């Protein structure tokens, strides 16, 4: 282990920092994954360290995670305690927005950082936190290679009709486009399908990433052709606290008739809507499933209805359906949601096997089902670690005098 290079992966959200440590020998292998949550409020730390090691969880003092910088220092102290000899050669970062041109991971240079800062207004809730995570990592590992992995990159294969809004053309040129997000998750699922079910991978697949953030992606031959998220990670499915698709006329009404400021509308749409807003109870699907109240049930009804509606629309974009894949916290764990999404969907070729669904099998459709239904746990951290390894390998190849390696 001592001589094997190590990659640190960082995924900085608004109030959380997910981290992973991977040895990047022949293939990346996770040594540790963890989460600092509720940064700046009442922070907590969770981490697990490979097979056989008990997971760790504890409350942090406010000073241990008052901001992203101190949260990273706390995570690193934990990793150093467990792996005192690990030398971090590369840090891979999840970055929400890569704009219209970045279609793969990028090595972070001052020029790339400047471009990512320029994109911040496109993702004001996420991008500044991602960039704060990068700044903190550069300070902590000044000699390590830093790599950005974009949630938008996987969708750059969208055809123009799924990339544009019906606005005057110059807005498209200015970057007002349907970018799509959750790309690291879709990238992982596409790779897993290729590895385990190549015929399905080659066909028409819809992936439903259902977590606190939720979206769906239509893939043809493993590449994204359409997704439910658009210019921001607000569009499409309702989420834990986000509206999902909404008539923009509602914004005019809230501002002009109810006197709300744009910042108040943004806060309403991002943090007080979705499952939380509809249920008046929680953004957490487990709490809604357990509650059984009318409002909680209606929030679930709306969530399921919108998934089914998008399923039909994305299948139309694909010209049919060969497989539906569930992933994300809800997709991987909620048999109820999977069952309700697939109910009565025989017309589109889905025939769910209830016993397989209840057992949490990988394939949860019947053997007679025209389209396969699958559950594949996603792994965004591994996608970041792979990208980080690729950059380090490319550096080594360049140093060895092989110039035909792309400098990403
Ligand atoms: P994030 O987008 O923050 O990464 P996750 O992918 O971790 O979110 O998903 C969080 C969601 O998954 C929450 O709504 C949580 O309630 C839901 N979830 C986790 N386990 C279950 C379960 N057993 N049944 C239903 N929902 C679950």
Does residue 356 share a domain with residue 210?
yes
Are both 362 and 271 inside the same structural domain? yes
Separation of 5 CA from ligand 1 center, angstroms?
33
Amino acid 2: pLDDT:
52
Ligand 1 atom with minimal separation from the 213 CA: 2
Is 168 within the bounds of a domain?
Answer: no
* Cβ-Cβ contacts under 8 Å for 401 (sequence gap 6 or more): none
Ligand 1, pocket-test mutation among 19, 213, 284, 285, most atoms within 8 A of CB = 285
CA of 250 to the centre of ligand 1 (A): 29
Residue 211 marked as a ligand binder: yes
pLDDT in tens, the chain (408 residues): 457 889 999 998 778 899 999 999 889 999 999 999 999 999 999 999 987 788 999 999 999 999 888 999 999 999 999 999 999 999 999 999 999 989 999 999 999 999 999 999 888 878 998 998 899 899 999 999 999 999 999 999 999 999 999 999 999 999 999 999 999 999 999 999 999 999 999 999 999 999 999 999 999 999 999 999 999 999 999 999 999 999 999 999 999 999 999 999 999 999 999 999 999 999 999 999 999 999 999 999 999 999 999 999 999 999 999 999 999 999 999 999 999 999 999 999 999 999 999 999 999 999 999 999 999 999 999 999 999 999 989 887 777 765 443 433
Cα(327) to centroid of ligand 1, in Å?
10
- Name the DSSP letter for residue 54: P
- The answer as to whether 334 is a domain residue is yes
Closest by CA to 152, choosing from 192, 115, 173, 123, is 123
Annotated binding-site residue? 330:
yes
The answer to whether residues 333 and 211 belong to one domain is: yes
To test the pocket of ligand 1, the residue of 328, 330, 383 to mutate (highest count of ligand atoms within 8 Å of its CB) is 330
- Does a structural domain hold residue 156? no
Nearest CA residue ID for atom 2, ligand 1? 212
Give catalytic residues, as residue numbers: 151
Q: Tell me: do 351 and 394 sit in the same domain.
A: no
The pLDDT value recorded for residue 51 is 77
d(CA 201, CA 288): 34
Judge if 129 and 251 occupy the same domain: no
User: 344 a known binding residue?
Assistant: no
State residue 404's pLDDT score.
Answer: 43
pTM of the model: 0.94
Does 329 appear as a known binding residue?
yes
Q: Tell me, yes or no, whether 389 and 346 share the same domain.
A: no
Same domain, 363 and 386: no
Residues having CB within 6 Å of any atom of ligand 1 = 211-213, 240, 284-286, 289, 328-330, 333-334
Indicate if 263 and 351 belong to the same structural domain.
yes
Predicted pLDDT of residue 68:
85
Could you tell me how many residues make up the chain?
A: 408
- Helix%, strand%, coil% for the chain, nearest 5: 45, 20, 35
Domain span including residue 251:
197-375
* CA 390 / ligand 1 centre spacing (Å): 31
- The reply to whether 58 falls in a domain is yes
Phi, psi (rounded to 5 degrees) for 259: 70, 20
What's the CA gap between 141 and 19, in Å, rounded? 15
- Of residues 183, 199, 229, the one with CA closest to residue 387: 183
Question: Which protein residue has the closest C-alpha to ligand 1 atom 3?
Answer: 212
CATH of the domain at 269: 3.30.420.40
90 with 217, same domain? no
pLDDT at res. 406: 40
Q: Is residue 162 part of a domain?
A: no
Q: What is the DSSP letter of 232?
A: S
Residues 101 and 50 in one domain: yes
Residue 221, annotated as binding a ligand? no
Count: domains in the chain: 2
In a domain, 165, yes or no: no
Q: Are residues 366 and 393 in the same domain?
A: no
Ligand 1 nearest-atom number relative to CA 328: 6
Residue 398 CB contacts under 8 Å (≥ 6 apart), including other chains:
405, 407
| CA 332–ligand 1 middle distance (angstroms) | 8
Residue 189 lies in a domain: no
Q: Is residue 252 part of a domain?
A: yes
Please indicate, yes or no, whether residues 86 and 233 belong to a single structural domain of this protein.
Answer: no
- 361 by Cβ neighbours in 10 Å (0-12 / 13-18 / 19+) ranks as middle
Task: State how far the Cα of 194 lies from the Cα of 325, in Å rounded to an integer.
Answer: 13
> Rg of the chain's alpha carbons, rounded to an integer?
21
């Amino acid at each position: 282990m001592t001589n094997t290079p190590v990659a640190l992966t960082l995924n900085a959200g608004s109030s959380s920092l997910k981290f992973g440590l991977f040895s990047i020998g022949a293939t990346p292998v996770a040594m540790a994954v963890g989460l600092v949550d509720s940064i700046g409020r009442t922070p907590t730390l969770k981490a697990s360290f490979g097979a056989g090691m008990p997971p760790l969880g504890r409350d942090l003092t406010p000073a241990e995670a008052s901001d992203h910088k101190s949260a990273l220092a706390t995570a690193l102290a934990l990793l150093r305690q467990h792996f005192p000899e690990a030398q971090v050669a590369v840090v891979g970062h999840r970055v929400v927005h890569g704009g219209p041109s970045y279609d793969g991971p990028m090595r972070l240079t001052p020029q790339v950082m400047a471009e990512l800062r320029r994109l911040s207004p496109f993702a004001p809730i996420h991008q500044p936190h991602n960039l704060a995570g990068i700044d903190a990592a550069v300070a902590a590992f000044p000699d390590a290679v830093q790599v950005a992995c974009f949630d938008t990159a996987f969708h750059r294969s969208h055809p123009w009709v799924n990339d544009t809004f019906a606005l005057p053309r110059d807005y498209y040129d200015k970057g007002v486009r349907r970018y799509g997000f959750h790309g690291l998750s879709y990238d992982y699922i596409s790779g897993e399908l290729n590895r385990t079910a190549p015929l399905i991978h080659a066909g028409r697949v819809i992936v439903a990433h259902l977590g606190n953030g939720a979206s769906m992606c239509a893939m043809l031959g493993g590449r994204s052709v359409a997704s439910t998220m658009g210019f921001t990670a607000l569009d499409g499915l309702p989420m834990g606290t986000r509206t999902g698709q909404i008539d923009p006329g509602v914004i005019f009404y809230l501002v002009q008739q109810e006197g709300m400021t744009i910042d108040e509308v943004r806060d309403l749409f991002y943090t007080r809507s979705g499952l939380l807003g509809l249920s008046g109870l929680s953004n957490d699907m487990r709490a809604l499933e357990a509650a059984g109240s009318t409002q909680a049930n209606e929030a679930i009804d709306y969530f399921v209805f919108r998934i089914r509606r998008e399923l039909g629309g994305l299948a139309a974009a694909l010209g049919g359906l060969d497989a539906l894949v569930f992933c994300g916290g809800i997709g991987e764990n909620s048999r109820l949601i999977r069952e309700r999404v697939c109910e009565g969907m025989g017309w589109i070729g889905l025939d769910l096997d209830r016993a397989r669904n209840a057992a949490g099998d990988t394939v949860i459709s019947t053997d007679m089902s025209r389209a396969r239904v699958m559950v594949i746990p996603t792994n965004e951290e591994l996608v970041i670690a792979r990208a980080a390894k690729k950059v380090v390998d490319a550096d080594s190849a360049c140093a060895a005098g092989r110039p035909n390696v792309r400098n990403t």
